[in-house]
Amino acid sequence: MKPEKTLESNVRSILELLGEDPEREGLKDTPKRNARALQFLTSGYQADFDKIVGRGVFQQDSSDIVIVRDIELFSLCEHHLLPFFGKAHVAYIPNGKIIGLSKIPRIVDAYARRLQVQERLTSQISNHLMELLKPQGVAVIIESLHLCMMMRGVEKQSSTTVTSSMLGVFRDDARSRQELLSLLGGLGSTHGGRR
């Protein structure tokens, strides 16, 4: 059986276990829609990073901080299969190579579209860019709201989770880290430590 058909069948079973009638009008196509949604939301497992980056890495003499901030991201918490969403801020200091700016959000999406925990997502993005570009440093900061905390459990509506991964000079050089946090503005007071 194809994965989509198996997912549909399982969603139908879940609806029945919840006491619903999967044949009623509002739910009749829900298993199919949910199967497609889940396949999209976890499409990062099939991500081909060579295709994502393509010819988007260029030789360039530059040693100034490059930041792509406020990258919207949506992911599924692997503990409850509920969404978490927010923004990623990605920075690096080149060391002879730069990457096309649109490639950074594509890399974020490829890792976010998996079952995730925010801590691992943050590290995966920073490690990938460090390996790909071999820059002087990479920093990734993610701020997210988690529906598993908002809709259930502690039910805290305004709790934001912030994670950071500082590699290279952003980890080892306080001045570089402070310059980055100053450029990001308003984020600096909570991101001085290592992650």
CATH number for the domain that contains residue 165: 3.30.1130.10
**121 and 156 belong to one structural domain:** yes
Among 139, 151, 86, smallest CA distance to 112 is for 86
**The pTM is what?**
0.91
Pair (29, 87) in one structural domain: no
Q: What is the pLDDT of residues 15-48, one digit of tens each?
A: 999 999 999 999 999 999 999 999 999 999 999 9
Say whether both 9 and 60 belong to one domain: no
Q: Which is the catalytic residue, given 46, 60, 72, 79?
A: 79
Do residues 152 and 116 both lie within one domain? Answer: yes
Mean pLDDT of the chain: 94
148 is catalytic: yes
Residue 189 reports pLDDT greater than 70? no
Assess whether 118 carries a catalytic annotation. Answer: yes
For 71-129, the pLDDT digits (tens) are 999 999 999 999 999 999 999 999 999 999 999 999 999 999 999 999 999 999 999 99
- Cβ-in-10-Å burial (0-12, 13-18, 19+) of 75 comes to buried
The single residue of 8, 89, 116, 118 carrying the catalytic annotation is 118
pLDDT attached to residue 190: 39
Q: Which domain holds residue 127?
A: 50-190
Element containing residue 177 per DSSP (H, E)? helix 174-184
Which one from 20, 39, 119, 148 is the annotated catalytic residue? 148
Q: What are phi and psi of 97, to 5 degrees?
A: -135, 145
Confirm whether 89 is a catalytic residue: no
Query: Which of the following is catalytic: 4, 39, 80, 119?
Result: 80
89, 128, 146, 191: the catalytic one is 146
Q: Among this protein's residues, is 146 annotated catalytic?
A: yes
Give the per-residue pLDDT at 3: 86
Is residue 191 part of the annotated active site? The answer reads: no
